[in-house]
Amino acid sequence: MSRIGKAPITLPKGVDINVSKGNLVTVKGPKGELSQQVDPDLIIKTEDGEIVIDRPTEQKRHRAMHGLYRSLLQNLVDGVSEGYVKELELVGVGFRAANTGQMLELTIGYSHPIFFMLPDEVKVETKTEKGKPPVVRLESNDKQLIGQIAAKIRSLRAPEPYKGKGIRFVGEQIRRKEGKSAAK
């Protein structure tokens, strides 16, 4: 049996769950409301402040769905109770970041600044300190959405292996290459 799938999800204080017809799970908490459509074959039970997901058979498809939907529901519960934060740093000479509301303006070495409009579900904050690279902080209750947006921003100027310039996650290690040796 799936070790991830059979682990119960404990509901923190202030988080409510509602399972409607067709296995549409809606989770409400202090940070907002999220919903996820779960495979109709799986059985979702709420008991004693815990969510338990059961599968009907041992088919390969059911085993795969069991762990997947348990992880997705855990992400919903964590999102509405605590939220998620992603931080990106812009490493490079002259790289800057600024935001006006939901509009993120990036100056990352191209001939023009890049404007990136963020959805309302994601809060953005930019921070620039002297001697440190600028940091873009993204905050949301939806783990999938914040990860997708952070990956899109990173792809605008992915870190290169020779000088390490580009947009990277805070704490991310970049594998560096040596470059050409001096000619004899």
Note the pLDDT of residue 22.
86
Compute the distance between CA of residue 54 and CA of residue 16 in angstroms, rounded to an integer: 20
Query: Hey, what domains does the chain have and what are their CATH numbers?
Result: 9-81 (3.90.930.12), 84-169 (3.90.930.12)
Note the pLDDT of residue 182.
55
Note the pLDDT of residue 12.
93
Q: 């309302």: which residue's tokens? A: 120
Residue 160 · residue 177 · CB < 8 Å: no
Note the pLDDT of residue 155.
96
Local confidence pLDDT in tens for the 184 residues of the chain: 458 888 999 999 999 999 998 889 999 999 999 999 999 999 999 988 899 999 999 999 999 999 999 999 999 999 999 999 999 999 999 999 999 999 999 999 999 999 999 999 999 999 999 999 999 999 999 999 999 999 999 999 999 999 999 999 999 999 999 888 755 5
Residue 154 · residue 168 · CB < 8 Å: yes
Note the pLDDT of residue 3.
84
Note the pLDDT of residue 1.
46
Note the pLDDT of residue 43.
92
Note the pLDDT of residue 132.
94
